[in-house]
Amino acid sequence: MHGLKRTLVIAALSCGLQFAASAAQACMVNSNGISNYELVEGAHAIVVATAVSEVENDRGVNFDVAQVIKGRSPKRITNVFAVFGDTKPSDPANIASSHPDSNCTRQVFAPGGRYVLFLGKNGLGELGVLTEPWARVAEDYAGEDSLWVQVIQTYLSVQARHRGMAGLRAMEDLRAKLLAGPETPISTALADDIASHLEIASPYKPTPYLMSAYRKAAALDPTSGKSRRLLDHLTTGGHRAARPIFEELLRQPSLDGERLGYVIAFFAKNGPYRRAYRVIEERAPAVLAKADKEEASALIGPIHNFQLGQGPVERWRTDPYVRARWPKMATALRAQIDEIMQNGYFEEAVAEYQQRTALKGGAAVP
């Protein structure tokens, strides 16, 4: 099973749900339909905290933690996106959606208000309130016996005993028991919430679940929106075991730019690096030769991000084989893209190729 842990600009599930570096960054992220069950599973910590003060000379609200529901937390959490203002409390009977003030992520809180906060880590390992779009990351606390807290505790209990596909089966069994038992507001809301979780094919589902869903969708139409979304989920999350799907795609004689982009992104993330690079050399030029602007963008975006990497040095510079070949390849791809659309891709690599060419009097060298 993959870990339900991802960055928020959303990169890798195995790294933990994170909070974004800016409010704009958080709200630009496309929502992947995270369920409440997955939100509980992915949070590093869940706390009950009181909004006590605004940050001096800056934006943000300080929260003092009164109770830890999951994980570990410092005594004070600062939500750098938050402000004090007029806001109505969350509807304690509604767990199907986030607070109505949550324009992407909730930012307005009442002084002295108590809230259930879901926490994640940023790139420095610091805890902050999650910025998962339109998720229930900062709802008003309505007491230990409130519906939301009971749902959280129920999910934590299941997750302590079951993971992956076993967790899905446990949720199916729990829902069946709820529907067979006495009907109460809590049982009805919980059964509905479980049904929503079981129906959502998000990046946080177990790898076997997503692989099966993709194969079913691809059997009907491999280029459908549903098939593409599932490929995106398998690429986004920590789904290393999905490699057979991408190997099969690679064996197809022709792939459109978007699906080839998913293949490159998968191998770039899960390795080996040179394999991903060879796919670029062997397949990308032919696809770009026939691509329109939309298809070219879908392919070049993953290649650009893959070659940049996330370190202080561009990733292509870290491998001797790739460093020797990529500047020339990047220059050729750049020329193809220029015929389709304006672009600023691969500038560093193109500049290096030009420098190599100049040093040899017009004959480029590795």
**Dist CA 243 CA 143 (whole Å):** 45
Q: What is the CA 279 to chain-centroid distance, rounded?
A: 24
Per-residue pLDDT of the chain (366 residues; tens, 9 = 90+): 333 333 322 222 233 455 554 444 444 333 457 999 999 999 999 999 999 999 988 889 999 999 999 999 999 999 988 999 999 999 999 999 998 876 678 899 999 999 999 999 887 788 999 988 889 999 999 999 999 999 999 999 999 999 999 999 999 999 999 999 999 999 999 999 999 999 988 999 999 999 999 999 999 999 999 999 999 999 987 899 999 999 999 999 889 999 999 999 999 999 889 999 999 999 999 999 999 999 999 999 899 988 988 788 999 999 999 999 999 999 999 999 988 887 778 888 888 888 888 766 655 444
What are the angstrom distances between the C-alpha of 208 and each of 141, 165, 242, 359? 36, 8, 8, 52
What are the angstrom distances between the C-alpha of 145 and each of 37, 97, 175? 18, 19, 20
Per-residue pLDDT at 125: 82
Tell the residue number behind the tokens 């040899």, with chain if given.
360
The SS3 of residue 262 is: helix
Instruction: Tell me what percent of the chain is helix, strand and coil, each rounded to the nearest 5.
Output: 50, 10, 40
Domains and CATH numbers, the chain: 1-205 (2.40.50.120), 252-359 (no CATH)
**Dist CA 187 CA 174 (whole Å):** 10
Per-residue pLDDT at 360: 67
Instruction: Report residue 35: phi and psi, to 5°.
Output: -85, 165
Name residue 188's beta-bridge partners: none
350 with 334: CB under 8 angstroms?
yes
Per-residue pLDDT at 343: 72
What are the angstrom distances between the C-alpha of 151 and each of 190, 254, 269, 309, 339? 7, 47, 34, 39, 55
